Structure 1
């Protein structure tokens, strides 16, 4: 079957064609955007660790988790909301990935895009400048099995944070952008009915998963965690924590939330070849050239280590590996639910799926198969956007392409 090669080549070609000058609105100035991104890049690369004033935004407001799921003993953790200087609507909410923060969207919020549009960002519970669970609290486990349960504030709380921001009248987002784990959180929130005002979803580096996926490919890149091959769980997931193989564990791996150092055998080769294996997980965010270099943006290291509570990774892993039945919706069913009344296409909620050509986390063919076999009925422009020379964090690797695509998506909806 020639489907794979033709689809990938076509997607790359279409992506290149669609950002050519003749297909852009008149107020798009690509050279100006490139110069603007270079200005921010110089700012980012000259920002030493822990000297973050040049890229940190002032807090727009603080929100707190409301305990929508009625969990006993729940902590109403506070989390910050940030806002760009733009005033043009509709409101746009950016949701970051695991072991990261709102700062991963620096090329969006500080760019011409952010100066024009009302962009809001948040630090998910357990990350960035959000409030953390008390350091002396041990991770909750099931008393009968010893299986880690994690802190619900760090799992279901991620969904609550997005839902709380979505319901805030000062934010009032209509378009939601999710990177990696952030995309999964958006799908869960939408499937639970917590994003009633959503007019569009834009997911980057997210591979929606669920029962009966129409693909022979697993979502995550091989090799897989022992015992979880059928589920497609990899050593590196969208959910963003590393499995450390451990023969003494009843699961065959340790779920301790710590980054594996050095990288365990079986980690995808381009990552294990990185000169500094201690930050290999973070390097996997970027395109192949960067993840094999000896440079990593300092604030990514800070956000992944100093600013992140490792128990968040534990809690996310526990919640998504051993989910409580009936709570988290099937992501593929959520995609189907984005299609409204067949007689009224205006009811449809468009969704954009973007993936980097060098994504080290996901098999892009899986995502392409979802689109080809009708699993994404409201897919924007009827195609997955594959961005060449971009890794898992397309918005950071190829910010001009990302910003152009997001701008087109916003304008199509608004």
Structure 2
């Protein structure tokens, strides 16, 4: 709900695109900057408590934004609240990546990830429409107020959870307090950097995200305005959402023993809409390609979450997940800023087609890593209730960390 409601709410008060850009950027930068620290917080403390407090903070800041919009205050007052909201979102993302293995096990890991993806995709379809109706009828401020209420409701739900406390931390010094936050963040970075099957996929998505967000979000509407029009572009975007929703429903039942090869290979198809966009394809071809891209993207997301939940030690889940998201998100602004410059120099069609080719190749490069191709997710539960199963040894196994663990999707 928030992007639509905030955009029209700010424009209603200011009529300025510059102020809208300032407000949204003020939220985005702290969110990305907070991801790494959020991973350390989520692995250091109880994740249900972290999520409850973060949702409560996000609800209160959104309520403040709603009040400022409804009372037509100067938009400068929105900036600190937007920054705080970004901080809370930066804490929330890593913690969410770490709780699935606390709530499910065995084959239930993939089913849980698929069910969460189904709800996420459904709200991506219904949320903007609901926000649009509220904004058109009673104003953007009230739509943000409804969004604030949803955060507070989420905090109430998180408060009902009772997850186990964080695993015991290995002491890095003779002090009773154990390792510092900085030491734990270094440990998470060490695991991430020494595990090729993780950092190669993250690097691939850093390229894919920069290209895809630049071409699709910046050049997409420009090209569409001269070809398929606003209505056609809306249909294409809706088709992508519908494809993602269908895939998340299918993945509740579908299990692939070694899923990374088909997941990454199919992700190359997610670059096809960029190529068709640059080639001037009609709305039918673009809609079909966007639908397929939604399917393969959500298939990869569920697989990636399940693989993380299977192979990353639980005590490192949020920190490793935060590294994954941080480095895959970081190049997005660069892609969005450089795409118009490249389009002016070489033409929008050339940039779109070339970008699609680069994104497709980026998805295939990680398949050169042997350990990634051998990753399995068929986990069983032994008589003691511990997770066991086939896995590729990764850093930490030799130290006795084993596979007690958990994650969430890239891209």
TM-score by length of 2: 0.26
Between Structure 1 and Structure 2, the one with more helix by share is 2
| More RCO (CA 8 Å, sep 6+) | 2
TM-score by length of 1: 0.26
Between Structure 1 and Structure 2, the one with more strand by share is 1
